[in-house]
Structure 1
Amino acid sequence: MKFVKEDEEERRDYIFQKDEKTKFGARFIIIVLVILVAAVIASGIHFEWF
């Protein structure tokens, strides 16, 4: 099984396809995770848990 499929490859056993939807989705998930981590740190500082 291949992890990333190129656009011109003809195969069905892959996890991610190298296209714009996948790139947008990966960027979106990373940004959301960074925002969540920042929110946890900010709430920890606000409630003096750290």
Structure 2
Amino acid sequence: MKREKGNFEFIKDPEDNKKNYIFQKDKITRNVTYFVSAILVLLILAVVFSNFFFK
């Protein structure tokens, strides 16, 4: 399979038939993005609160 150089799309629309994209615009991608964001926020809050308890 021959690779295309550059010309990558960041988000692929569902009706496009492109193969050079990073994320696909669908329900799974949106849910995973929310999940990862929530975990990151929880980790940041844990670091901030641990600073108060373990000075």
Q: Give the TM-score of the pair, scaled to structure 1.
A: 0.93
1:26 to 33, 40, 45: 33
Aligned length: 48
Give the Cα–Cα distance (whole angstroms) in 1 for the partners of residues 35 and 24 of structure 2. 16
Gap runs ≥5 in structure 2: 1-7
Task: Report the Cα offset of residue 6 of structure 1.
Answer: 0.3
Q: TM-score, normalised by structure 2?
A: 0.85
1:2-13 alignment, distance < 5 Å: 2-13=9-20
* Structure 1 gaps, min length 5: none
Q: Which amino acid aligns with 1:30?
A: S
Percent identical pairs in the alignment equals: 38
Residue number among 1, 20, 35 corresponding to 2:42 in the alignment: 35
Runs of 4 or more off by more than 4 Å in structure 1? Answer: none
